[in-house]
Amino acid sequence: EIQYALNSYGITQQTLPFESDGVLKPGLFDRRLRELHDQEHAEEEAHARVLGDLTPYPLEHDVVLGRGSPYQKFPGNVQLQHLVEASKPDHDRASSRVAKTAISVNVVKKMQQLHNTRFLKRDKSEIGWYVVDDDIAREKVAMGFRNLARKGRTN
């Protein structure tokens, strides 16, 4: 009866993940999970495509510019913070402003190369995010170095 009812909705026995005796078909479950994952990933990429100059929302590896805890805890910002912390000894050893700027530029480039990171800022209309230029991204990294130095003085 159940199979008959399912057939009336266009669901055939072959599309079900188990045999008629209730035993799970081997490999079908894993394949279906992969299909769902791929479908979800494709949908995320489709949503993340730039609509004109705006992106509807940041992706996991993007760095979002803004103040406060939600921005600091965003996964891309956390990755950036780890890279800034790892680069801090070189930044501290740099004696000139030009050398420190070069280190900040290198951090931006590493993020872009390793994770395809975009540095995003919320649009004033709040309907999306826009990609900032590399100079603004470098300033974000430089601010990270200054914040680390400030933390070191207060601890």
Residues 75 and 122 reside in one and the same domain: yes
- Contact 64/77 with Cβ under 8 angstroms? yes
> Looking at residue 21, what is its pLDDT?
79
Q: Map tokens 């057939």 to a residue.
A: 7
- Block mean pLDDT (10 aa), the chain, length 155: 81 77 78 84 58 77 91 94 95 94 96 93 82 92 91 64
> Looking at residue 55, what is its pLDDT?
82
Residues 37 and 71 reside in one and the same domain: no
Residue 145's contacts (CB-CB under 8 Å, 6 or more residues apart) are 84, 87, 88, 91, 100, 103, 104
Residues 31 and 59 reside in one and the same domain: no
* Cα gap 30→35, rounded to integer Å: 9
* Cα gap 79→61, rounded to integer Å: 8
Q: What residues make up the domain containing 12?
A: 2-46
CA distances (Å), origin 33, targets 16, 29, 55, 94, 150: 14, 6, 28, 50, 47
> Looking at residue 50, what is its pLDDT?
42
Which of 30, 46, 62 finishes a domain? 46
Query: Which residues are registered as beta bridge partners of 69?
Result: none
* Cα gap 86→10, rounded to integer Å: 57
Query: Which residues are registered as beta bridge partners of 24?
Result: 18
Which of 81, 95, 49 is closest to 145 using CA atoms?
81
> Looking at residue 118, what is its pLDDT?
94
Residues 60 and 6 reside in one and the same domain: no
> Looking at residue 91, what is its pLDDT?
95
Alpha carbon dihedral 143, 67, 154, 135, in 10-degree steps, equals 0
Q: What is the CA radius of gyration of the chain?
A: 24
Residues 108 and 87 reside in one and the same domain: yes
> Looking at residue 52, what is its pLDDT?
54
Residue 135's contacts (CB-CB under 8 Å, 6 or more residues apart) are none
Residues 23 and 55 reside in one and the same domain: no
> Looking at residue 98, what is its pLDDT?
95
Q: What is the pTM (predicted TM-score) of this model?
A: 0.63
